[in-house]
Structure formats: structure tokens, C-alpha cells
Amino acid sequence: MAAANAPAGSGGVLPNWVMLERFIFRRDDPQSFREDKRTSATGVTSVGAHFRVSFILAEPPTPSRLYLSWPGGPKEEMMCHLAAAHRNLVLLRLDSFVDPSNPSPFGEIAHDYFIYYVAADHRSQSQAQSTPALRRLPGCTVHNEHFGRPIPRPFVPWCVGLLCCGEEFAVAYLGVGWRDPETERLEVELWVLRSTIIRDSTDGDEKWEVKYLPIQGQDVEHYNLIDWTTSEVIPFKNALCWVDCNRGVLYCEDVCGDNPKATFAGGRTLAFLDVGRHDGADLGRMVPETGFTIVFMAVTETQSANSLVVQADDLWATHTPEDLPRIFGKLSLVTIDLSTKRVIGSVVPYTNGEEDLSTDDADLVKAKPSFFMNFLPAEFPKFLNLQRLVECTCLRHVFESLKE
């Protein structure tokens, strides 16, 4: 696993973009917490627990990792989430019991969202910042008549979107339902928090808003959107796209503005990549002597275009085991050019199965059968590179002045 975990050189240029492993490596013991001081930041949860995060970055296709030290946090699994990323921002969520003495399944949980950001405004030397930071966002609550007070409004972590619009950003969650069942008119329920990157969140004027939007688009009534299940949220220009792999895309424009609009894309214009296993399973080890099919397709309302299909046998017949490993129980990452059906670049070891159960990655290996989420693309390292460029430019000016 050494190759897959190797951080970018401490003195070298960081990657412009990375593939973030969605699994968070929680290491409360200082001896096991891996840290790159260039990417580290600290924060405090709403219940007063301090924590530290650090990204260990690597060039794709090697995945980058997020390490978390949270000694005062709950010890239960799945209480920390890497929710979203866009441009120089990353959205994290830490869940804490409001009453730490009642860590039961019925205990009230606070969902704290944090923006990890790198300031990208270098218009003057005084504005340049050399380290990233964390800022806790206001919690989303709804009034509960039973308790007679507001309680946290829970969101599914991977269904929350993040959209960066210059110095502003929006965090949003989308659901589909009837506000008035008698009208039989489905609407989008959009929860949005809008803010600026550099801001004191204690001033009290930030708040979540809920907007009910009609669903636009052709033939919306022909789709069963009441069973909408978000698989992924993708930022695109000034919009967030909530994707249901079985139904289509809800394209929500102007999320950072005052008048968002929701449009159902359906199957009219979609591009997707699908990897289907021949053994019919979604997760876990593949049945021996079976393979997979990779399909890329751009779908329009009237026809399919740019369709590419690659079978496992196509790859195995033209690659040696060294070029394309297929060792039972082990996972590797490869980059494939679908047009030529060839592996590009080197093979990256990912997990070694049972061999890793005695290593520092045992928690990753144990979690993967039920936590096989996609990698999250992120661009924030590019802004750290810009930061160092400004600092080097400042030093060059100093040396030039000394020479004079």
C-alpha cells in the first residue's frame, strides 16, 4: 500500500486536482495520525470538541486521503463524512450526540457542516494566506411540535451539494414530494445555505432557507419521481445536478441566487459510464471466471451516440497480468482509454485484502464491502499551488531589492 498512500513531496508542487477517497481515516492517536502541514486545519464542533484534519495528496489515479483526529468525538462508526467538493472548497460533516451521556440510537444528533477552504484572492500581498482553514456552518433545524423546539434536520451526506460561485458558495439538499397532497403536484423541496467564503459564522445572519420549486421539463408526469433517490450531486456551471441513476437528473440552476429553477432532464440528454459485473453482484469479491462490461454512452431524446463498450475479455486478452492485475482478493487502480481499450500509465495498488488486516489500513479493508463509494474529484490543491507561487514571487522581489 505504500505507493497508494504516498503523499506529494513536501517540497514539491501539489497536484492540480486529486481523487479524494470518500472513506475518512480517523486516527485519534497522535502516533497514527498522518499529517501534511500544508493541508492541515483545525476546527471545533457545536458541542465543543476540537478536531484536526489533514489531506495526504497524491497524483491521480492514486487516491488522496483525508485523515481526521477527533479525540473528543463519538466513537461510533459513520459519524464523519466527506460530503462534497468544488473548486477551492471541501464540505465535511461531523455528527455528534447533543448529550454525550446518551450515545444511544435514540440520542439527538447534531450534524455539523464545515467548509474547508483555501483563499484564492491574491490581488494584494496582504490578502495572501498560506494555510487552509475550517469554518463551521450554521446547523439546519426544523421546529418539532412534540419537543416544542427546533431539532436538527438530517440530510443524507452524499445527497448534499456544494457550489462555489466566486467568493460566494451554496450548500444545498434536494428532495421530491407533495407539499399539498390534494393538488397531486410534485415539487422540489430545496434547502439552501448561501454564504461567502471568508466570513464570521458567529454573526448570526446566516441561515438555511427552504424553497419549493415546480419541476419543469417535458413529460415530467410520465416519470415516477416520488421515489426519487439521489445517487450523486454534481456541480456544473451555476447549477447543481442531483442524479438518480434509475430516473435521470434534476438540474437546479441559480442555486447561489434568489430564484433557483429545477428542471427534470430525464433521458433526453445524459452521458454516463457504467461498469456492470457479469456475476450480477453490486459489491464484494467477483465470482471466479466471470468478468465485467464497461459502457460509455451519450443518450439523447431520439438516439444514442458515441457509444463505447469494452468487455473484460477485451482487456485481458491484450494485457499481461502485470499490465492489468487480476489477483483474487486484491484491488488495483488503472486508467483505461476506452477508445483503444488500452491501459494508460502505471498500475496503482489499492487494497491487498486479508493481507492488509494486520496493517494501518485494516479499517478501510473492513469497510469497503459496504462502503464502495466513488472517489470525489477536488481542485483545492491547485489553489495551494497558487498560494506558494505568490509567496515565491514575494521572496523574489525581496531578493531583487537587496541586490539593488
Q: What is the pLDDT of residues 352-380, one digit of tens each?
A: 888 888 888 989 888 877 777 889 999 99
Residue 166 clears pLDDT 90, i.e. is over it: no
Chain-wide mean pLDDT for the chain?
83
Residue-range domain boundaries for the chain: 2-403
The pLDDT of residue 398: 44
DSSP state of 7: P
Q: Which residues, in sequence order, are bridge partners of residue 243?
A: 232, 249
The pLDDT of residue 383: 86
Say which residue, 330 or 91, is predicted with more confidence: 91
Q: How far is CA 75 from the centre of its chain?
A: 22
Q: What is the pLDDT of residues 185-237, one digit of tens each?
A: 789 999 999 998 876 555 557 889 999 999 988 667 767 788 899 989 999 88
Closest to 252 (Cα-Cα) out of 243, 242, 244, 211: 242
Residue 170 clears pLDDT 90, i.e. is over it: yes
Q: Is 402 helix (H, G, I), strand (E, B) or coil?
A: helix
Confidence of residue 155 (pLDDT cuts 50, 70, 90): very high
Whole-number percent of the chain with pLDDT over 70: 81
**Which of 79-93, 174-188, 383-397 has the highest mean predicted lDDT (pLDDT)?**
79-93
Closest to 172 (Cα-Cα) out of 188, 150, 152, 186: 188
The pLDDT of residue 396: 46
Q: Parallel, antiparallel, or unpaired: how do β-strands 133-136 and 109-117 relate?
A: antiparallel
Distances (CA, A) of 60 to 53, 185, 236, 364: 21, 45, 21, 19
What does pTM read for this prediction?
Answer: 0.85
Confidence of residue 129 (pLDDT cuts 50, 70, 90): very low
Q: What is the pLDDT of residues 27-44, one digit of tens each?
A: 999 999 999 999 999 999
Residue 393 clears pLDDT 50, i.e. is over it: no
Say which residue, 333 or 371, is predicted with more confidence: 333
Residue 48 clears pLDDT 60, i.e. is over it: yes
The pLDDT of residue 199: 66
Q: 352 — phi, psi (to 5°)?
A: -110, 25
